Amino acid sequence: MVGMKIHNRKSMKEIRRHLRHSLTPAEAALWKGLKGSKLEGKKFRRQHSIGNYVVDFYCPECKLAIELDGQKLRSMDAFASRTKAANASASKSGGKSR
């Protein structure tokens, strides 16, 4: 499909926001060296979505995606499943889940 947006879809916005606020120690350390175009003047984005997946860092100029740990659930379907499970658990215990 011509013109179909695959980068940073609005439907992935909450997932990206959640991941930006919960960086692993390795992601935080690398971000210190990448933010502010510190690496040869290249601009990197954190928690950038491509299709239904979120990569840790992305440089649009170089078309370079960096995934450090690969262990987090990063697909939209996996995130939805995790959220559903958390909400079910919270409702059983009488608490609230975000």
Q: What band does 91 get if pLDDT is binned at 50, 70 and 90?
A: low
Residues 6+ apart with CB under 8 A from 42: 59, 61, 62
**Cα four-point dihedral sign 53, 57, 59, 63:** negative
Q: Which residues fall within 8 angstroms of residue 74, CB to CB, at 6 or more apart?
A: 15, 19, 53, 54, 55
- Which pLDDT score, from 0 to 100, does residue 3 have? 66
**For 3-21, what is each residue's pLDDT tens digit?**
678 898 888 899 899 988 9
Mean predicted confidence (pLDDT) in 12-33: 91
pLDDT at 43 over 90: yes
Token pair for residue 15? 């997932």
The closest alpha carbon to 63, from 55, 71, 74, belongs to 55
pLDDT bracket for residue 32 (50, 70, 90): very high
What span, in angstroms and rounded, lies between the C-alpha atoms of 62 and 44?
10
pLDDT, one tens digit per residue, over 49-87 is 998 888 999 999 999 999 987 555 445 566 565 556 555
